[in-house]
Structure 1
Amino acid sequence: MAALSALLVMPNIPGTDVHFLVPYAIEAPGPTFNTLGTVEGKEVVEIEGAPTDATNGKLNMTTVAVSSGITLTQAIAEGLWSSNTMVPIEQIFPQNVTPEEQREVNSADFAASEASATAAAMHYLDRPLAVEVAQVVPDGPAAEKLEQGDVIVAVDGQKISSPKQVKEAVSAHKPGQDLEVKVKRKGKETALKITLGTHPKDDAAFLGILMAQVPADGMKVTYNLKDIGGPSAGLIFSLAVVDKLDPADITGGAFVAGTGTIDEDGKVGPIGGIRHKIEASKNAGAEVFLAPKGNCADIDAKTSEGIEVAAVGSLEEAVDALSAHQRGEAMPTCG
């Protein structure tokens, strides 16, 4: 089952009696957010350091609203009269994980999806990328050597352009061996020698950093949505970046909504709560919904009634689908 994502976890429903709570949560259509618009006076997707083009239409990311603290009476009512979904509470809050810890995980997933969305857009637009240190593991081999924000220029004399290259360089060493890492910090390049540690899971060489691909030309992309978790905004975020940087009009003035994870190479992955996200999009007035191909089994004729649903497997396919829609041609569907 696809992981639940882009969740808005709601507080316990007022008036519930803790003595009659059931171990379920309610999933329902959540709000949608236009990534080409503004929130609290800021652009949802803000680009600095590069010229941007005017955009038309809407590109709405979608969410699933989740409520916990459900009584038996409410659960029965949901089953009889609501199109919302009852799911076991452990799907939202896994066992031995507190709600606060799960919110932290969802927030981390959302941040990771933002980084992947930027990288995927840069790949699509053929713009240069650099590898940045996103986090240094406390007490790890790189602690007190590398810093968050360092740009990794080279490893053992080999130029670096992707996190994969760094991982391959580390894996070619044994724990206890030295790795030379050249970084750019505050505009100055510095070569550092780091003694690799042992990975706690597989005894392989361990550097102790998390990395992200970022624009290499000084451009900065900031995503200004808050209080939302999970990785499923990736596709729509990436499309918004492309629409702002590419002279082509991605939406053609249409109201487009969608969902889907995205990796740095632009591959779109399935998510949870697809039916609720399509319903939310219809309620908001969207004409087109971009759905991951991996969710096709969850989308039936009734779900897609009243909105055109395009099935896509990559960022490029999503752009092509919207181009076809502008021309009045058929978009790829789950059928």
Structure 2
Amino acid sequence: MLLSAVLVVVFGVTGTFVQVPYVAIGPGPTYDTLGDVGGAPVIQVNGRETYPTGGELRMTTVSLNDKITLFGALGLWASGRFALAPREEYFKPGESDEQVQQQNVQQFEDSQSNAEVAALRHLGYPIKVLVKEVVSGTPADHVLAAGDRLLSVNGKPVTKEEDVRAALSDTLPGQTVSVTFQHGNEPPRTVPITLATNPDGNTKQGFMGLQPIDRADVPFDVKVSLQDVGGPSAGLMFALAMVDRLTPSDLVAGERVAGTGEIDEKGNVGPIGGISFKVVGAREAGATVFLTPEKNCAEAASAVPDGLKLIKVTSLDSALTALGDLKAGKPVPSC
């Protein structure tokens, strides 16, 4: 009896205080990208006329519970709202919580920038090409800096990021090319850069050592105000909200639409993780329609709750077309 009592106490202490190498994943909060959070508009446009909107465009999230005990993990799992996954799937060995948080924040900020470029490109606004990053120790290092605007490379105009790669396609290591750029509000400058060998060992063309990125070239600012959210999956919903704010047509016309999807600067929508939990969170928030990346359709369809219609999307354009058809009562692509 004494031994049994000791084992019970040990098991109780272990289950209560000892953490397990798992995380619990479940439905997270949703945010209306057309609405306010904490008294501030989620999408705010300064310097340009905006239009009233109706309904909701809700971005969805996944909650992740880390540092859970055995009893805590069992309780979350037994609730039916959470799934357990090995911690190393979300936290790499040797990676601190702070590093993971920084990565999530950076992904979230990138999703905002990509959404802005995709939305404004769709609306016909001009695009400029900036230096996103300069690799240390490369030919571009100490010549160009992050944020510089690229105007021409190797004598060829640069109007989109692909132009930079195209301008170097016929070059060789050791060749000198001219680069015209603008730093801040300074006058444009043209400098010679001698290309190096690409460190990947597979590319024969000359290597400059910078990463270009498309950004909107507009005289107004688009700001996203949302705290304590990370990851790249809100991009599609941000882009839709920006288009809705900047055009007189009401995208959702009073509907409660939720969705998810990573977006790139061209407006292509990619798959995300945790969609089986996001559809649950969307329905609990009152959504009746869920915009679903094409490659997530099968998983979403296996978990979709009653009353939620899945619409398959592949791009910002396809999402806008589907919302227009939905408003008009026309068929829409479903999962």
Using the size of structure 2 for normalisation, the TM-score is: 0.87
Contact 1:259/1:292, CA 8 A, preserved across alignment? yes
Could you tell me how far apart the structure 1 residues matched to 2:41 and 2:133 are? 26
- Cα 1:201–1:36 change in 2 (3 A) is same
Shift of 1:18: 8.8
SS in 2 for 1:179: strand
SS in 2 for 1:299: helix
Bigger drift between 46-55 and 264-273 goes to 46-55
Deviations 1:62-111 (A, max 9, x none): 11110111222222233333221111111111234332222222222222
Shift of 1:203: 6.4
Amino acid paired to 2:253:
G
Contact 1:115/1:212, CA 8 A, preserved across alignment? no
* Pair 1:192-2:211 in alignment: no
SS in 1 for 2:233: coil
Deviations 1:240-295 (A, max 9, x none): 11112222211112221110011222211111110211111112122221111111
Contact 2:56/2:256, CA 8 A, preserved across alignment? yes
Deviations 1:276-331 (A, max 9, x none): 11111112122221111111110236524122221111111111111122123332
Contact 1:115/1:213, CA 8 A, preserved across alignment? no
Amino acid paired to 1:258:
G
Amino acid paired to 1:233:
A
Could you tell me how far apart the structure 1 residues matched to 2:169 and 2:109 are? 26
Corresponding position of 1:142: 140
Deviations 1:86-142 (A, max 9, x none): 111111112343322222222222222222212221232222111112333344432
Number of equivalences? 320
Corresponding position of 1:209: 210
Taking only aligned residues, the RMSD between alpha carbons, in angstroms, comes to 2.4
Corresponding position of 2:98: 100
Larger radius of gyration: 2
* Pair 1:255-2:256 in alignment: yes
Contact 2:20/2:69, CA 8 A, preserved across alignment? yes
* Pair 1:264-2:269 in alignment: no
Shift of 1:41: 4.3
Contact 2:27/2:81, CA 8 A, preserved across alignment? no
* Pair 1:115-2:116 in alignment: no
Q: Unpaired segments of 5 or more residues in structure 1?
A: 1-14
Contact 1:16/1:69, CA 8 A, preserved across alignment? no
Q: Unpaired segments of 5 or more residues in structure 2?
A: 1-12
SS in 2 for 1:22: coil
Shift of 1:171: 4.4
Using the size of structure 1 for normalisation, the TM-score is: 0.87
Shift of 1:156: 1.6
> Identity over aligned residues, as a percent?
38
